[in-house]
Amino acid sequence: MDQPTLPYLTMKPPCKSSKYKGYDVRWWPPTDDTAAMIEVDVPSKTDPNTIYAVVLSPDEINCECKGFTYRKSCVHTAMVRKMIAEARSKDD
């Protein structure tokens, strides 16, 4: 249950909540050759000048920070998962 799944990616998450202020969300719709993809630029909490790009595709989530490289999880991917889950629950 750790992986994002395709329905998460069929639309751009609205992320209007102030919790996600400063997040820059980009969304690419699926094409015949490529799956849908979302990239969220998450500002670092400790250094506002640092932005971490979190990329979600139907079968993986990636963050460019060191924590994710070592542990395969980090606060940035956790926030993005939460943001997308909240966006989905509003649609239901």
Residue 7's Cβ-count burial label (10 Å; 0-12, 13-18, 19+) is exposed
For Zn ion (CB under 5 A), the number of binding residues is 6
Angle at 26 (CA atoms; ends 41, 22), nearest 5 degrees: 40
> In the complex, what is the shortest distance from the CB of residue 78 to Zn ion, in angstroms, rounded to a whole number?
9
Indicate if the alpha-carbon torsion angle 65, 66, 70, 73 is positive or negative.
Answer: negative
> In the complex, what is the shortest distance from the CB of residue 4 to Zn ion, in angstroms, rounded to a whole number?
15
Site for Zn ion in 59-88 (CB under 5 A): 63, 65, 68, 74, 76
> In the complex, what is the shortest distance from the CB of residue 57 to Zn ion, in angstroms, rounded to a whole number?
16
Q: Using CB under 5 A as the criterion, which residues of the chain lie in contact with Zn ion when the complex forms?
A: 52, 63, 65, 68, 74, 76
